[in-house]
């Protein structure tokens, strides 16, 4: 409630700093947020393939989230006491913090590398799943390492959350896209616990197989999104015509009641990423 909703209302910025913050959007063409609901942007979000690809990714990536609740049970079933299980469980958090930290820094270091970094971080997780399922039950150390490796892929979802916001323009479209992705996230989390049935214990090969399938599909989806967006960027670069300038006008009522049209820069028009052909998708 206290955080400003746009650079123009940021109380901690001077007027000059606000102007500079707004000026920055000219580079990425994301536009200034407009709170009015626009029906055409709502329908565009529903028709945009990347909306549903991000939603599919969110659902599949979070079905294995049920593993978070099962890890303590799995670790304790290896013969550890409750105290030992709790202490060993702390390592899962350390692994996730470390991998998210390194993943975010790598994606920032390599230009247009979000999808690649996110996809690569699924590989250690798949290796960990293989270790958990193939090592003998007596190899506690190896099974624990495999369990810890399953947390590496968290980076992929973190990068996807930031990525969807940078490749979607238009206030209404952003809201709808984020709502769909959040709904898919909830569906995945709700479906996950049903994997763990009593008949699959103690090795739980069936739940692990489903989790592995999800983690194979997730990097493929990320790379597919990147391919689609990169292809669209190339199309827009190939059709740029500097001789044609798009002009946008808004209607304003002056003091005497007359309505006049004022020319405005299109970055202030709350255009979507499809409507604004100067928009380039971050990869």
Q: Which residue has the higher pLDDT, 130 or 87?
A: 130
Residue range 115-150, pLDDT digits in tens:
999 999 999 999 999 999 999 988 989 999 999 999
List the domain range (segments joined by +) for residue 59.
Answer: 39-238
**Residue 112 DSSP one-character state:** T
* Predicted local confidence at residue 95, as pLDDT: 93
In a 13 Å sphere around the CA of 127, the CA atoms on its Cβ side amount to: 10
* C-alpha distances in Å from residue 112, one per residue of 32, 190, 261: 23, 33, 39
pTM for the whole structure:
0.82
* Predicted local confidence at residue 34, as pLDDT: 63
Question: Would you say residue 149 lies in a domain?
Answer: yes
N-to-C CA span, the chain: 32
Question: Would you say residue 93 lies in a domain?
Answer: yes
Indicate if the pLDDT at residue 260 is higher than 80: no
Using DSSP's 3-state secondary structure scheme, residue 15 falls into: helix
Question: Would you say residue 262 lies in a domain?
Answer: no
* Predicted local confidence at residue 247, as pLDDT: 58
Question: What is the mean predicted confidence (pLDDT) over 145-159?
Answer: 93
Question: Would you say residue 224 lies in a domain?
Answer: yes
Question: What is the mean predicted confidence (pLDDT) over 209-234?
Answer: 97
Q: Which residue has the higher pLDDT, 31 or 37?
A: 37
Residue range 164-174, pLDDT digits in tens:
999 999 999 99
H or E element in which residue 262 lies? strand 259-264
Indicate if the pLDDT at residue 191 is higher than 70: yes
Indicate if the pLDDT at residue 73 is higher than 60: yes
Evaluate whether 132 touches 209 at the Cβ level (below 8 Å).
Answer: no
Using DSSP's 3-state secondary structure scheme, residue 183 falls into: helix
d(CA 154, CA 59): 13
**Contacts of the segment 84-88: beta carbons below 8 A, 24+ positions apart:** 88/144
Indicate if the pLDDT at residue 23 is higher than 60: yes
Indicate if the pLDDT at residue 219 is higher than 70: yes
Tokens of 43: 């329908």
Q: Which residue has the tokens 């002009």?
A: 247
Paired residues of 253 in beta bridges? 259
Tokens of 211: 């989790």
Question: Would you say residue 210 lies in a domain?
Answer: yes
Task: Tell me the pLDDT band of 156, cut-offs 50, 70 and 90.
Answer: very high
Question: Would you say residue 12 lies in a domain?
Answer: no
* Predicted local confidence at residue 28, as pLDDT: 53
Question: What is the mean predicted confidence (pLDDT) over 34-49?
Answer: 90
d(CA 149, CA 249): 55
Indicate if the pLDDT at residue 243 is higher than 90: no
Percentage of the chain lying above the pLDDT 90 cut: 54
Q: Which residue has the higher pLDDT, 236 or 24?
A: 236
Q: What's phi and psi for 13, nearest 5 deg?
A: -105, 145
Question: Would you say residue 271 lies in a domain?
Answer: no
Question: Would you say residue 247 lies in a domain?
Answer: no
Q: How many domains does the chain have?
A: 1
CATH of the domain at 183: 1.20.1250.20
């Amino acid at each position: 409630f206290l955080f400003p909703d746009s650079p123009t209302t940021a109380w901690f910025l001077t007027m000059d700093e606000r102007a500079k913050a707004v000026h920055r959007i000219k580079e990425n063409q994301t536009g200034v947020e407009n709170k009015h609901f626009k029906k055409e942007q709502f329908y565009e979000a529903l028709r945009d393939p990347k909306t549903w690809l991000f939603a599919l990714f969110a659902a599949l990536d979070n079905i294995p989230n049920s593993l978070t609740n099962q890890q303590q049970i799995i670790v304790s079933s290896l013969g550890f006491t409750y105290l030992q299980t709790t202490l060993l469980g702390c390592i899962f958090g350390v692994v996730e913090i470390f991998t998210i930290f390194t993943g975010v820094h790598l994606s920032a270091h390599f230009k247009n590398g979000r999808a690649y970094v996110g996809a690569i971080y699924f590989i250690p997780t798949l290796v960990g799943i293989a270790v958990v399922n193939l090592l003998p039950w007596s190899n506690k150390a190896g099974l624990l390492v495999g369990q810890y490796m399953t947390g590496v892929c968290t980076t992929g979802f973190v990068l996807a959350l930031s990525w969807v916001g940078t490749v979607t323009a238009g206030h209404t479209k952003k809201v709808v896209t984020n709502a769909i992705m959040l709904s898919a996230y909830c569906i995945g989390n709700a479906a996950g616990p049903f994997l763990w049935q009593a008949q699959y214990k103690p090795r739980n090969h069936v739940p692990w197989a489903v989790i592995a399938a999800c983690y194979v599909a997730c990097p493929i989806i990320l790379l597919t999104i990147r391919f689609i967006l990169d292809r669209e960027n190339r199309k827009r670069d190939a059709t740029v015509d500097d001789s044609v300038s798009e002009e946008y006008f808004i209607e304003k009522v002056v003091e005497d009641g007359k309505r006049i049209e004022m020319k405005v820069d299109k970055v202030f028009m709350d255009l979507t990423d499809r409507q604004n052909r100067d928009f380039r998708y971050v990869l």
